[in-house]
Structure 1
């Protein structure tokens, strides 16, 4: 039965443990072992697969650690006050404008300047004081960041979106559905519309009320400083940030970009040589936990894939299908479960496409409907998963002062405002495209 499938049991267990505020890292490890044992792998083999699978996110984890050092260096410079001063003049006390501005900037991280989550620990912590001054609910900002990290790659064939839509195209072709990139782009805008609706629900309705956070002395000092001035040290830190982004873009290696940025900061004295250890320790304290969550999330995904329970889940779900609307709903819900566990939309597409393409063809779904179902089924769960960089990234910035909870302030809000519209509009869109 679907409810006793190891994937379902382990993901429900992980979600419950996280909602009960049990340690996220331990929740993922325990859930992975439960999935392995229920699949017949045994505890020892499951742990071995888990440990080997952790290497899948090693680059992302290293990126988080190095970016933490850069974020700490920025926090110690006048760039924080300069940024707050500039954004304050631009948005004033308009909370909705601030959230839309953050979503707008986040969208650029997926296409115009494809740095993904790299900008968050650099941009967001300095703005926490301004958010506190506006009494802005950080859950709205978490939703704005998650929108910018996900909607562009779903809807636009640019930057990470080009990679995502090419993955959809290639896997559909491999599984008997002949499509072009233009075909994929022509329907995936529907997913972007669903995300936009979710964003508006978050910032205009659910999280529009004032919310107070504890302010530190440093924040109060930053708020009263009206004319920040750039020093040679600040220019050195800024140069390091520019180098980080430039190297990442040209080499497609975020760890290399972050390392080069830190080295440049030391060379031009944005970071004093004697303070390097202090900066890295500060970066570790800020980002190490999230980096380890990314590692164990990759191990969890490896156990799920190796167990064979995903294919079993899809097969069991297929027996529940009947009619276009119900079949589309079942496909999307299974995609949600898989992505919640694996934590990546990009890695879910090959799994979904391999099973759903022949199934959808047998059920007489049209080509545009199949594209939409596979694309949205893969994207579902990226917002809301405790192990996704689309939730870990926003938390890394918003929790810099310890005032933002990963599960209740990032995962739950983003799950509600994005996955529900994606499912509803995905079902409606699939039926509409099939008519």
Structure 2
């Protein structure tokens, strides 16, 4: 059997068995090399050589995590959450229930979107914002499965189409780089446009959740959640410095095309601004790095895995064999690539970590079938994003559960994983397939 198939299957099986993804990738890379005809020294050498390919992404995540921690300690996110709670009110009256409902849902959506691109703090906003709002959500009888879908939409869709913050990492540093490394001649400007049609699938899923699936009230026990907050002095100086740091981060990233230096700029502004307590500064960087470390190590291991798979030479063999099986049926080829991408991402739990693995196989396969550059971008990008919304191990589901289950009334699998899987993965397959066929 083909070494690539064996390695990917083993990696997926180990991930589904809850083996740490880094270990699963490392073990699978070793197996890929040995089955593919490399000896142990060649396999380890190829793996080590490939590790450097994930270093830039890992450092981007580390510095972005540090910036997120600094932003959180500045008190700006706490101020935002307090203002939202103040606006919606502790006990909404019957006369303003509808207004409060939509204001609340819109506020959560905007915060989720901004956490990826404008305020790149990822899921760090959830434990700050969501638990204090649970009492209001319960009073309004808002289905928390809807809230999970809204948060996940903001966490996933924005990085698919907006090349700023986490979107810059996903679209430029990971997707574009891996496409080009595997033989596709793509440029930065083509990536967001190619991913726009698949992103419409996410929008369709969100609209379905909001207006059809979860529009009816759901009864919860209205419990008051006490959230421990830091004693942060929020004043005009704090807000001004926070805004300056955010703008500086975005400007530097856009000018240098580097998330590393953008996040570093924002972190330095916070570090030396004087608005962060002295006893917090020492651990602030470590806290941020810790928050993103898991994803960073997965990216490094995935780059090593991809390097070993390439070194075996089995990719071309797999492409040729799949071509023989599928024939010249481009529609079937596109569908199978998307489904396989779903399975891989479901096992890994990270679309960012999936691209180095699937691009190695998908780019040569797409070129063999004659897919255009834009169609290939859509195929690989969509196949990677698939499963991020519905994986039990994904930040996009773990984050919402952590906030919505603060009072013990939200189940991770039934209320986060299954709803997001149904509403986002199925439309993504449909719209990703359409994109592959029409672009």
1:317 aligns with 2:322: yes
Which residue matches 2:428?
422
Q: Which residue of 1 aligns with 2:353?
A: 343
**Cα distance, 1:318 vs structure 2:** 0.9
Per-residue CA deviations over 1:124-180 (Å, capped at 9, x if unaligned) read: 553233564436457421243112211457xxxx998799999999999978xxx99
Change (3 A) 1:347 1:296: closer
**Counterpart for residue 285 of structure 1:** 290
Q: Deviations over 1:87-118 (max 9, x none)?
A: 443884446434543565468x3xxx6x9xx3
Cα distance, 1:14–1:184 mapped onto 2, change above 3 Å: closer
C-alpha distance in 2 between matches for 1:232 and 1:28? 46
Q: 1:279 Cα deviation (Å)? A: 1.4
Q: Determine whether 1:192 maps to 2:199.
A: yes
Q: Distance in 1 between matches of 2:131 and 2:16?
A: 28
* Contact 1:65-1:287 at 8 Å conserved across structures: yes
Task: Report the Cα distance in structure 1 between the residues aligned to 2:315 and 2:56, rounded to whole angstroms.
Answer: 25
Match of 2:19 among 7, 19, 22: 22
Query: Residue 24 of structure 1 contacts residue 293 of structure 1 at CA under 8 Å; is this kept in 2?
Result: yes
Greater shift, 334-343 or 82-91, is seen at 334-343
Aligned to 2:384, the other structure's residue is in SS state coil
Matches within 5 A, 1:104-143: 104-105=113-114, 109=117, 118-120=120-122, 123-130=125-132, 132-133=134-135, 134=137, 136-137=144-145, 139-140=148-149, 141-143=151-153
| 1:303 and 2:308 correspond | yes
User: How much does 1:398 deviate?
Assistant: 5.4
State the match for 1:84 in structure 2. 81
In the TM superposition, 1:88-237 aligns within 5 A as: 88=85, 89=87, 92-94=100-102, 96-98=105-107, 100-102=109-111, 104-105=113-114, 109=117, 118-120=120-122, 123-130=125-132, 132-133=134-135, 134=137, 136-137=144-145, 139-140=148-149, 141-151=151-161, 189-201=196-208, 217-219=226-228, 229-230=234-235, 232-233=237-238, 235-237=240-242
Deviation at 1:258, TM superposition (A): 2.2
CA deviation profile, 1:166-195 (whole Å, cap 9, x unmatched): 9999999978xxx99999998865433333
Q: C-alpha deviations, 1:287-317, integer Å up to 9, x for none?
A: 3233222222222222223233332222221
Unaligned runs of 5+ in 1: 361-368
Provide the rounded CA distance (Å) in 1 between the counterparts of 2:204 and 2:123: 26
TM-score of the two chains, using structure 2 as the length reference = 0.69
Per-residue Cα deviation, 1:265-301 (whole angstroms, up to 9, x for no partner): 2322023455422212322332323322222222222
Q: For residues 339-361 of structure 1, give each alpha carbon's deviation from its aligned partner in whole angstroms, at most 9, with x where no partner exists.
A: 8888365996686444433433x
CA distance in 1, matches of 2:295, 2:221: 25
Decide which of 232, 243, 246 is 1:241's aligned counterpart.
Answer: 246
Q: TM-score, normalised by structure 1?
A: 0.69
TM-superposed CA distance for 1:84, in Å, is: 0.5
Aligned residues of 1:64 and 1:291 also touching (Cα < 8 A): yes
Q: Distance in 1 between matches of 2:188 and 2:72?
A: 42
Q: 1: CA distance between counterparts of 2:214 and 2:29?
A: 33
| Rounded Cα–Cα distance in structure 2 between residues aligned with 1:358 and 1:402 | 46
Whether the 8 Å contact between 2:183 and 2:363 is mirrored in structure 1 is no
Shift of 1:82: 0.9
Q: 2-side partners of 1:173 and 1:296: how far apart?
A: 22
1:58 is paired with a residue whose SS is helix
SS of residue in 2 equivalent to 1:312:
helix
Q: 1:231 to 1:182 in 2, by over 3 A?
A: closer
Counterpart contact for 1:143–1:202, Cα < 8 Å: no
Distance apart, 1:83 and its partner CA: 1.0
Q: Give structure 2 stretches of 5+ with no counterpart.
A: 89-98, 139-143, 407-411
Change (3 A) 1:218 1:75: farther
1:366 match = none
Deviation of 1:397 (Å):
6.2
- What root-mean-square deviation, in Å, do the aligned CA atoms of Structure 1 and Structure 2 show? 4.9
Residue 91 of structure 2 corresponds to none
Does the 8 Å CA contact 1:67/1:121 hold for their aligned counterparts? no
What is the correspondence of 1:4-83 to structure 2 with a 5 Å cutoff? 4-83=1-80
Conserved? CA contact 1:234–1:270, under 8 Å: no
Which residue does 2:270 correspond to in 1? 265
> C-alpha distance in 1, partners of 2:317/2:66?
43
The 1:15–1:44 alpha-carbon spacing in structure 2 relative to 1, beyond 3 Å, is same
Could you report, residue by residue, the CA deviation over 1:13-61 in whole angstroms, capped at 9, with x for unpaired residues? Answer: 3333333332232222222222222222244433332232222122222
Q: Once the 2 structures are TM-superposed, how far is the Cα of residue 254 of structure 1 from its aligned partner?
A: 1.8
In structure 1, the residue matched to 2:378 is 376
